[in-house]
Amino acid sequence: MRAAVQHRYGPPSVLHVAEIERPLPGRGDVLVKVAAASVHPGDYFVMTGKPYVLRLVFGLRRPRHGIPGRDLAGVVAAVGRDVTGVRLGEKVFGWSSAGTLAEYACVPADHLVPVPPSLSVLEAAAVPTSALTALQALRDVASVRPAQTVLVTGASGGVGSFAVQIAKAFGAEVTGVCSTRNVHLVRSLGADHVIDYTRTDFTGTEKRYDVILDNVEAQPLAAVRRALTPTGTLIPNSGHGGRWLGPLGRIVKARVLSGFTRQRLRPFTSVEKYQDLLTLADLLATGQVTPVIDRSYPLDEAADALRYVGAGHTRGKVVVTL
């Protein structure tokens, strides 16, 4: 099969498409013929091996898994002998830690759910990691309730575009922060208010929010806290930072400060959960959440897809088709 592979850390140029052996499903696995796989900033960081702290998890000298990508959608091609409830030929979407920028991927059965009939496989591939992050941040960390005020920075990006819609589905009053060119997009996602950050600094207004999901972290923590209510929740959610520790310094600072204020400063890491993927499938099926696709690239241009994601400022998700 054809796959995008890398044998060392580095810029997108380390990726090349090669013929490799097709994987065989284990007893609890599903072999998926991949139709589309989305990429996000986390894939870019793992590809480059920066911040260096990532290498403790993904391989010290070279990537442990030579195929990038975690999210996918496609058709069930084979199942392991212990797998039940999954049909050959069924359209599914989910995630795999073994890499998804390949024609086939072996995926544990509990990492996949059926694609809702209203969704294309291209749209479904855009969902897992970014939408799970938005769902868990708003529901599990912030406990968003109806009529609360929620501000989302990076509202036109991968996580942000899902967060605006999910917060609205929870009944919140949502404000999205984005650039001028994305104001219309964020408003179309259901945001009640849109702030163009090139014209207005949300930390300098008198408005206070119950929840801030900060996907950009362009302002100091002290400034963002001024935009919170006295008992509000701030969720820092950016992978950027120094070349060695990335966002860890800011995360530690937020944890320490949280012990000295009634405000809740809650950095978190999303966890891939089957039940949460089912929840997202329901939100997608009912039209409460719709993926935003910025661009799609063929597999041969996977390096360009990751280069585009690494440059920042994507509108929604970037998808690689196979």
Please tell me which residue, 261 or 15, carries the higher pLDDT value. Answer: 15
Taking only the tens place, the pLDDT of each residue in 72-90 is 999 999 999 999 999 999 9
Judge whether 287 lies within some domain. no
Please tell me which residue, 270 or 197, carries the higher pLDDT value. Answer: 197
Could you tell me the residue range of the domain that residue 258 belongs to? 129-265
Query: pTM for this structure?
Result: 0.92
Least confident of 18-22, 215-219, 222-226, 276-280: 215-219
Verify that 25 and 83 share a domain, yes or no: yes
If DSSP states are collapsed to H, E and C, what string results for the chain?
CEEEECCCCCCHHHCEEEECCCCCCCCCEEEEEEEEEEECHHHHHHHHCCCHHHHHHHCCCCCCCCCCCCEEEEEEEEECCCCCCCCCCCEEEEECCCCCCECEEEEEHHHEEECCCCCCHHHHHCCHHHHHHHHHHHHHHCCCCCCCEEEEECCCCHHHHHHHHHHHHCCCEEEEEECHHHHHHHHHCCCCEEEECCCCCHHHCCCCEEEEEECCCCCCHHHHHCCEEEEEEEEECCCCCECCCECHHHHHHHHHHHCCCCCEECCCCCCCCHHHHHHHHHHHHCCCCCCCEEEEEEHHHHHHHHHHHHCCCCCCEEEEEC
User: Among 250, 265, 280, which residue terminates a domain?
Assistant: 265
Judge whether 144 lies within some domain. yes
Judge whether 197 lies within some domain. yes
Verify that 98 and 134 share a domain, yes or no: no
Please tell me which residue, 221 or 1, carries the higher pLDDT value. Answer: 1
Taking only the tens place, the pLDDT of each residue in 292-307 is 999 999 999 999 999 9
